[in-house]
Structure 1
Amino acid sequence: MVDRTLVSLLNEAGVEINGDNPWDIRVHDERFGSRVMRELNLGLGESYMDGWWDCERLDELFHRLLTSGIEKKIRGSPRYLLRLLPAVLFNLQSRARSRLIAKRHYDLGNDLFLSFLGATVQYSCAYFEGTDDLDEAQRNKLRMICEKLGLCAGEHLLDIGCGFGGLARFAAAEYGCEVTAVNISREQMRHARDICAGLPVRVLDQDYRAIEGRFDKIASVGMFEHVGRRNYRTFMRVAHRCLSPGGVFLLHTIGGNVTCFNCDPWIAKHIFPVGMLPSAALVGKAAEGLFVIEDWHNIGPHYDKTLMAWNRNFQAAWPGFAERYGERFRRMWEYYLLSCAGAFRARRIQAWQVVMTKDGVGRPQPACRPAFAGRDEPVRWN
């Protein structure tokens, strides 16, 4: 029998145990309830990985759970609070620990990521304005970043993080820029160097804190989530030091609605070790006195669609990976993609593009929301 308290909390969210709705939980192991009440978020995710329960629409389950306020009712639990202590007491994203995320996540294998990210190999939020196609939406995002930066031929772009090299390749090929891209993931760098061969792109194995030089424009896409609150100011100082006085800096990051010390315990253990989502307050504080915030664009609803597209691709490609990774990995990855889609749908997390210029130089405001080409009719965004 499932714990009565858990049943009551789920019912408040419109979720039933063994109900008929696609977002209801079908329990296969009677230990499910006690494990969830004992281990909370971690127990919910790990019991799914172990096959103790199923749900036809995980994305809708999490949408309902997160909009019901259930999370606030368990945040006071001593077990929940104890999980935050390491992030409160220590700098989990120190330089000595910085490569942990690369080894545990990004270096799983390029063929896995290539199987679901699409042709642009963008592991960040797409922009589905005027399209339902993932590849076109990712090209929209890349062009939007370049236009917000005001990239011009001959300029030198610094790409902090760089992922699989898609932005570096796009900026060099489409805008005629020279690009210096830094990363610490061996597999991502290998792919970035391959796709940027023959273009004026350097891909460096380098921690962001070690970057030297001066650049006309700077972009960082999907990397700030791994910096950590103790290092946000350091990150901004590096960007400030490296940006030319008349330059533009674009920060693209997932963010949280409230300031916190750590990620969800299940995400931190199984997907992004030492990850941490910044709040708007922390981003603003880190940039204070260094940058003028010219524009703050929330494209979070587009991440819901991005994650759903990734999951469809992942499921279609899975037969080719089943023997290598196993069923528990499939359930873990499915849970990751769909729970995050539900969180974006519930508006609990956001995706921000923040455009900044150097404070104190009097630079005219850049055109932060220009039309961008690539269609018969230019697209404008609000």
Structure 2
Amino acid sequence: MTDAAPRLAAVAETLLGAPLPVRIRAWDGSEAGPPGGPVLVLAHRRALRRMLWRPGELGLARAWVAGDLTVDGDLYALLDRVSGLLWERGADAAPEPRPHPSRRAAGAAGTAALLRDPAARAAVRELVALARPLPPPAPPAEEALRRGGPLHTRSRDKQAISHHYDVGNEFYERVLGPSMVYSCAYWSPGGTLEEAQRDKLDLVCRKLALAPGARLLDVGCGWGSMALHAAREYGAKVTGITLSSEQAAFALKQVAEEGLADRVEIRIQDYRDVKDGPYDAISSIGMAEHVGAERYREYARLLYGLLRPGGRLLNHQIARRPEPDEAAYRVDEFIDAYVFPDGELAPLGTTVGELERAGFEVRDVEALREHYALTLRAWVARLEEHWEDAVRLTSPGRARVWLLYMAASALGFERGRLGVNQVLAVRSGPDGASDLPLRLRTWGA
């Protein structure tokens, strides 16, 4: 029989309370749903088992990473259609930053309420029949191993960073390109990824007013690109810190090859353990997302204490839209399990408030949302171009994680569900002096 897809479509429409937004193809070759466009492929009935035993994002993620769930056609188009199930749309069809009722109903209480409906109970029984035999296989090996205890201790943060970054420098070279910059680029019309990343590093250096001999602390220095640029182009003396041993090894090699060992120091060090201030400037680019809400004020105060009076902080950080009820915010299960364990996003206003509470004077905020969408699409294109290498260097599951994460994130930035901002803050001197120009946005250019 080849009727799995029509049966699945009927079940999905019952549980969603809405027409199926994409066409599906089941393991028996059958298809159902609207014609045209991308097709969601359930390559094996294991995909159903994973979703039944862990309803929601994590079950879907496990099926995707394991290869039980794939896409035939344009991944961006499919994700855009499916996002309508998770986000309500206003009268003008623009996404609203609040979950669809089906997502709000997630969890034990929501499941119990759903299953009080006889049609929903019948739909679940149909899923169980299609998914047999049960239970599902173990989660894919790429899923983060969980360590108990409180979030954001030094040891747990190091483990989380290692999960994401210590997957092979060669893999990241295939995705990021020669710049090895893993944060939002700064694009000009018609520019390349390499040019955009160079321009981003240069923008940060200019905002920080780096000059020969200036001491720069680069928090979360990654593969050393910012440290190298600041030392080579501006003559700064840079200390870069990271918790990733693979990043540190790559950065140290680059420092040696460029002959900058007298100006760049790379350390495997937690930001909480830096004691050798004061610095003239601090750059934190794509690192603060790992800090966590409970630690953010400590993070801000520590950086404030490491700056000299008049010193500048450039905090480059992804932001989420605020929830109507902030207590309802929860971390995306796929991101938490497979991409950034223990990572947290905060609204821009929260970040600015915490920096001000730490003593900083916030002097400029520049939103780069569209720039990150372009950056992510460039990374996705590179990953697809080097797909066989990426799989060989890591695993098929790891490559699928990065593909889904980057494509979905690109849409998140394009649709305004995510943002990224450069916040320039100053530790003002005792007389209130900030050493900032009257017209900031020239940045000395």
Give the TM-score range, shorter chain: 0.7 to 0.9
CA change 1:63–1:144 in 2 (3 A) is farther
Q: Distance in 2 between matches of 1:196 and 1:320?
A: 26
Cα deviation digits, residues 23-65 of structure 1 (max 9, x gap): 4523334565675465211122222223333332222333344
- Give SS of 2:319's match: strand
Following superposition, the deviation at residue 345 of structure 1 comes to 1.7
Contact 1:66 1:346 survives alignment (8 Å): no
Q: Which residue of 1 aligns with 2:422?
A: 353
Q: C-alpha displacement at 1:249, in angstroms?
A: 0.5
Compared CA separation, residues 67 and 297, structure 1 to 2 (3 A) = farther
Aligned equivalents of 1:100, 1:332: Cα separation in 2: 18
- Greater shift, 141-150 or 310-319, is seen at 310-319
Describe the superposition over 1:90-146 as per-residue Cα deviations: whole angstroms up to 9, x where unpaired.
741122311012321211111110111012100001111233411011111111111
Aligned twin of 2:272: 209
Describe the shift of the 1:286–1:12 C-alpha distance in structure 2 as closer, same or farther (beyond 3 A). Answer: farther
Q: Secondary structure at the match of 1:98?
A: helix
Task: Output the TM-score relative to the length of structure 2.
Answer: 0.75
Number of the residue aligned with 2:13: 7
Among 18, 32, 49, which residue is 2:65 paired with? 49
> Does the 8 Å CA contact 1:219/1:249 hold for their aligned counterparts?
yes
Q: How does 1:145-164 map to 2 (within 5 A)?
A: 145-164=204-223
Mapped contact 2:311–2:428 kept (Cα < 8 A): no
CA contact (8 A) 1:308 1:337 kept: yes
Aligned residues: 368
Higher relative contact order (CA 8 A, sep 6+): 1
- Alpha carbons 1:253, 1:353 under 8 Å: kept: yes
- Equivalent residue in structure 2 for 1:267, among 318, 327, 335: 335
Instruction: Kindly indicate whether the alpha-carbon contact (under 8 Å) linking 2:171 and 2:393 is maintained by their aligned counterparts in 1.
Output: no
Residues 1-382 of structure 1: matches in 2 within 5 Å? 1-2=7-8, 4=10, 6-7=12-13, 9=16, 14-17=21-24, 18-29=33-44, 32=47, 35-36=50-51, 38-55=54-71, 56-66=73-83, 69=87, 71-73=99-101, 74-79=103-108, 91-197=150-256, 198-199=259-260, 200-212=263-275, 213-258=277-322, 259=326, 262-289=330-357, 290-358=359-427, 361=430, 362-364=432-434, 365-366=436-437, 368-370=440-442
Answer yes or no: is the 8 Å Cα contact 2:13–2:20 preserved in 1.
no
Query: 1:315 is matched by which residue type in structure 2?
Result: E
1:32–1:21 distance in 2 versus 1, CA, 3 Å: farther
RMSD value over aligned CA atoms? Answer: 2.8
1-side partners of 2:192 and 2:239: how far apart?
Answer: 29
* Separation (CA, whole Å) in 1 of partners of 2:291 and 2:419: 17
Q: Which amino acid is 1:48 matched to?
A: W
Asked if 2 retains the 8 angstrom alpha-carbon contact of 1:262 and 1:275, the reply is: no
Whether the 8 Å contact between 1:6 and 1:33 is mirrored in structure 2 is no
Unmatched segments (≥5 aa) in structure 1: 374-382
TM-score calculated relative to the size of structure 1: 0.87
- State the alpha-carbon separation in 1 of the partners of residues 161 and 269 from structure 2: 12
CA displacement at 1:315 relative to structure 2: 2.0
Looking at structure 2, the residues matched to 121 and 348 of structure 1 have their Cα atoms a distance apart, in angstroms, of: 26
The 1-side partners of 2:443 and 2:109 are apart by 46
